[in-house]
A and B are shown apart, each in its own frame.
Chain A
Amino acid sequence: MTVEMTWEGPRRDRRPLTPDRIRNQAFPRTKIGHRGYSSEEVHAFLHRVAEDVAAGDKEKADLRAEIDRLKHWYADHGVDVDDSGTRREARLSVDAVNILSRAQQTADAQIAEAEDYARRLVAQARHQYEEILQEAQQRAEEAARQAVTVYRSGDGVQTAEAEELERRIAYLRTFTEVTQVQLRAVLEGLSHQVDKLGSVPEPVPKP
């Protein structure tokens, strides 16, 4: 190499960040009541930074390939820029390596995006599910209270057991009604998404 590089770089004890480590960096949560950044915003930003780091890596790889090409040109024209003279007999094309690396990085980024999308989708679905159940529970409690009021205002002999029974029947009826309708809608949406997740194509077998 014509450019002089020192053996020890400035940050010898620090491993450089990779796009994958940036994308998967986790931060500790602040205590409840303390202010903090929105985790979705931080997450989106990390993905952006990972993209830029990958782009920087690509540029450096291009430069190394350029150096390699120039060296080959000089070598082919009778100038040996490598004083060591230890070039491997079978020349590995740095350009071919870089093309393959670029394809791999594109695949990595696409898969990371898809996994991130799946993560958010499932988290959302779970949140929705919790909300539906909570709403159903609240409405069922309300219906049960009303049933008891109606029962008490009615005629005939009233017992505590019968009152409790009325309360439970009303609770369960409302709870099932509310959850049945909503969960069915969610399940349909979810199973559709899950089918899509499960059908990632296998690599084409070699001929």
Chain B
Amino acid sequence: MDTQALKESWRAVALSGDQVPLFFYSALFLMHPETRDLFPVSMAGQRDRLVRALGHAVSSVDRLDELVPFLQQLGRDHRKFAVVAGHYPAVGEALLATLAHFLGDRWTPELAQSWTEAYGVISEAMIGAATDASRTTPPWWEGEIIAHEPRALGIAVIRARLNYPYPFRAGQSASISLGMRSRLWRYYSMANAPRQDNTVDLHVRVVDGGTVSTTLVHGARVGDVLRIGAPVGDRLTLDGRMPGDLLLIAGGTGAAPLKALVEQVAYEGPQRRVHLVVGARRSRELYDLDALSKLEAVHPWLTVTPAVSHDPLYQGDQGYAVDVALRSGWRGEEVFVCGSEPMVQASVARLVDAGVPSEQIHFDEFTSDRGRES
């Protein structure tokens, strides 16, 4: 396999931009029409993702120790899209046809051989990881909605019961898809620690124009079945190296994974003080305050402080969650932040200014309610 030729030819092909994945998918669907149903109706975002993933694979094709774990994760992730081993040769065929078309004269038998070998490495790693994973976990879980509560304008709390045991840790998230839009996936955090009855809670806020969130809040009903991918993320989880007190700062539905942490402390310990500050722009958007107040009433180690930033008539603490949290000063706690991207960025900057060491600030890049998916 001539890795230099692979890289150079990919660079030449990639210059044609969107035309390359456009050609690739059309060729794939013409040669193997059965693959069309694996994809959403709109392919615009999908094309960018394909080029990104391929570009990454090609650029590190001579560093297999780095590439293989990436491909293995990709292979495991693709199980939830109902991709099976039989689909891989079809993709390889379409890929070679695309490269041949865009390279013209420069598509030599040697180059074709190198690409065939490279694609062999890619598909073997992906199929191998998917096969290994299939021995222990289903490709996706099905979660029947057993409760659907609209709590505020555009915010709903959804409880779903999963069909198989779902091993996750408090603070993790999962990609979720609906029967109605079965080929679109978005990440949501579990708002609870694992339970005996195999149920999970999701806090969903409507993203303006977002099809998945809109359908989850306004269209989903009790009895509908969600598809739930394997749990991911370890940025907002507690581990044994963090025995100290916790300061949890939430914006909007970012409260979900932090509520899960509170439940974990309640179920498993160890004993520690937890201060949860839930922020909202207006008091009517404090959608989970009743449940949090009940937790606070039962657990003497827990303090819940609502913070409202844009509601002059609100009687309680006014200001952004991070400012309300810092009002009484930072006392060495581990700090967890979750919310929209601007909220997390601003809060982290504010915490650093206030002297919190960055290794004690924990936040995740994709548990907020935005999210175009891989």
Contacts and interface: CB of A to CB of B under 8 A. Distances in A.
Contacts of B112: 86
Contacts of A178: none
B43 A1 contact: no
Interface residues of A, number: 60
B209 A105 contact: no
Nearest to B102: A64
B16 interface: yes
B212 to A, nearest CB: 11
A5 interface: yes
A92 B44 contact: no
B22 A101 contact: yes
Contact of A16 (B18, B45, B219, B313): B18
B97 A92 contact: yes
A173 interface: no
Contact of B153 (A18, A24, A126, A200): A126
Interface in A187-207: 194, 197-198, 200, 203
Dominant secondary structure of chain B at its interface with chain A: helix
A43 B218 CA distance: 27
A67 B37 CA distance: 31
B358 interface: no
B154 A126 contact: yes
Contacts of A32: none
Contacts of A129: 153
A5 to B, nearest CB: 7
A19 to B, nearest CB: 6
A96 B154 CA distance: 44
A189 to B, nearest CB: 14
Interface string A78-110: 000011101010001110111011001101100
18 contacts: A5-B12, A7-B8, A8-B12, A9-B12, A12-B11, A18-B48, A20-B44, A53-B18, A60-B19, A61-B19, A86-B112, A88-B100, A119-B208, A121-B209, A122-B154, A194-B218, A203-B37, A203-B41
